[in-house]
Amino acid sequence: MARIVVLGAGFAGLWAAIGAARMREAIGEAGRDIEIHLIDRNPYHNIRVRNYEVDLSDVALPLAQLLDPVGVTHGIGEVEAIDPARRQIALVTGRGEETLSYDRLVLALGSEVMRPDIPGLAEHAFDVDTYAAARRLEEHLTSLGHSAPSPGRSTIVVVGAGFTGIEVAAEMPDRLMRAGITGSRRIILVDPNRAVGATIGDRARPVIETALSSLEVETRLGVRVVSVEASGVRLSSGEFIAAQTLIWCAGMRASRRAEDFPEARDRLGRLLVDPFMRIADLPGVFAAGDVASSVVDGLHPTVMSCQFARPMGRFAGHNVVADLVGRPMLPLRIDWYVTVLDLGDWGALYTEGWDREVRTTGQAAKATKQTINCKRIYPPLSGRKDDLFAAAAPTVQAPPPTYGASRR
């Protein structure tokens, strides 16, 4: 019996596992002796890009519902180390320390928010990096809503004016209202760069600034957080902001398990993979999603987003089985790139291309964002193998639909 192990159940890992099961069935008799086993620290697949939203009721999907119908076994464990020379994985599970061997590996452990060594940050900051973290923030806001007015109770400081930080800040008015924090309130977006959305581009930035102004989100730009207390945040400018809630959204890095491999990594810690999702010069190991970087159009490497993680996972799953049984593998090529940034009640921003040309804004773009977040990135929930296999085919979806008049 040959064993394929998939590490991680995010957008890349889930689809790698289902894609592998699809290919296993497609090859018939040759796939009978292939076991596919997925390991994740949680028993669910988190629709991670929705962790900033008001309603978290359907962002954690049980793995059993998605993997049992396609014959993929799964377990809960924390990956402590990977030994590619011995093809072994060191795990900590509910039973203690374990070692898991593999014949082929798909590394899909994703990324994590970076937390620098700032006094008080670990003790007092919140984030939306994981479902558990998002729920912790939700419970904190609800608790504040039930408490008596006090200094900083209705002030939210969001650190990091990139995609995640902007979406968190823009959604916060609705989250505060849901938590029962009404009346006077402040939402402050902090970033060391001199402009919000520094990586988003000059064309898109005026739209973001207009939306944040409409939502009454304040900014503190060109400054850093130097310390965090339960009662507030001190900035490098000397300003102290009384706030009982700080949400850290400042930067992502690939899983530290990528460092178990001697191969080349980029500045985000991602392993470099070829168009087949193989780690170069390391037989039997594939990587996909935020832990991997692949040039998908001959020029641009993938970015950390479900837009790339999902097809990377599907192709990795197909190819890991093909590699195991000596069948031709399929290269991944994606010749389009879009971004859709949620801007709360104001709407959203939809851009096309690597230069981020603005296509639609406001409520028209919001309709596209809701289609993506609530439909497009969800796996089939019917529990039917055929539906899951159809969604796991090694293909690339067309760009998401746009609504309303175009803006060029």
Residues 171 and 297 both lie in one domain: no
Query: Do 120 and 201 belong together in one domain?
Result: yes
**402 confidence band (pLDDT: 50, 70, 90):** confident
pLDDT score recorded for residue 39: 98
Decide if pLDDT at 146 tops 80: yes
127 and 80, same structural domain? no
- pLDDT for residue 234 is more than 60: yes
Task: With beta carbons less than 8 A apart as the criterion, state whether 230 and 250 touch.
Answer: no
Q: Is residue 263 part of a domain?
A: yes
Backbone angles phi, psi at 40, to 5 degrees: -145, 160
- Give domain status of residue 331, yes or no: yes
Q: Specify whether 134 is located in the same domain as 48.
A: no
Let me know whether 29 and 54 are in one domain.
yes
Work out the mean pLDDT of the chain and round it to a whole number: 96
Task: Give the range among 38-52, 104-118, 196-210, 305-319 with minimum mean pLDDT.
Answer: 196-210
- Split at pLDDT 50, 70, 90, the class of 407 is very low
Of the pLDDT bands very low, low, confident and very high (cuts 50, 70, 90), residue 201 is confident
Distance between CA atoms of residues 40 and 18, nearest Å: 15
245 and 123, same structural domain? yes
The rounded percent of the chain whose pLDDT value lies above 90 is 94
Taking each helix axis from N to C terminus, what angle separates 11-26 and 306-325, rounded to the nearest 10 degrees? Answer: 30
Mean pLDDT across 319-327: 97
How far the first Cα of the chain sits from its last, in Å, is 56
* Judgement on whether residues 12 and 105 belong to the same structural domain of the protein: yes
Question: What is the reported pLDDT for 403?
Answer: 84
Q: Is residue 333 over pLDDT 50?
A: yes
What is the pLDDT, as a whole number, of residue 408? 36
Residue 406 pLDDT > 60, yes or no?
no
CB 15 within 8 A of CB 314: yes
In this predicted model, what pLDDT tens digit does every residue of 97-141 receive, in sequence order? 999 999 999 999 999 999 999 999 999 999 999 999 999 999 999
Q: Could you read off the pLDDT of 236-283 as tens digits, one per residue? A: 999 999 999 999 999 899 999 999 998 889 999 999 999 999 998 899
Instruction: Report the domain count for the chain.
Output: 2
Residue where a domain terminates, one of 337, 353, 368: 337
192 in a domain, yes or no? Answer: yes
Same structural domain for residues 153 and 211?
yes
The Cα 396–Cα 148 span in angstroms is: 52
Of 227, 250, 273, the residue at which a domain comes to its end is: 250
Contact indicator for 250, 160 with CB cutoff of 8 Å: yes
Assign 405 a pLDDT band (cuts: 50, 70, 90): low
Residue 135 sits in a domain of what CATH number? 3.50.50.60
pTM > 0.85: yes or no: yes
397 part of a folded domain: no
121 and 235: one domain?
yes
Within 10 angstroms of residue 189's Cβ, the number of other Cβ atoms is: 25
| Same domain flag for 202 and 236 | yes
Answer whether residue 272 is part of any domain: yes
Domain hosting 326: range is: 2-112+253-337
DSSP labels, 101-144: E-SEEEE---EEE-----TTHHHHEE--SSHHHHHHHHHHHHHH
pLDDT at 198: 87
Residue 199: pLDDT band with limits 50, 70, 90: confident
Specify whether 71 is located in the same domain as 162. no
Residue 251's contacts (CB-CB under 8 Å, 6 or more residues apart) are 113, 114, 160, 162
Same domain, 242 and 128: yes
Q: Is residue 138 in some structural domain? A: yes
Q: Is residue 385 part of a domain?
A: no
* Cα atoms found within 13 Å of the Cα of residue 312, Cβ hemisphere only: 36
**Residue 83 belongs to a domain:** yes
- Residues 46-51, mean pLDDT to the nearest whole number: 97
In terms of Cβ atoms closer than 10 Å to its own Cβ (0-12, 13-18, 19+), residue 1 is exposed
Which of 307, 322, 337 represents a domain boundary (last residue)?
337
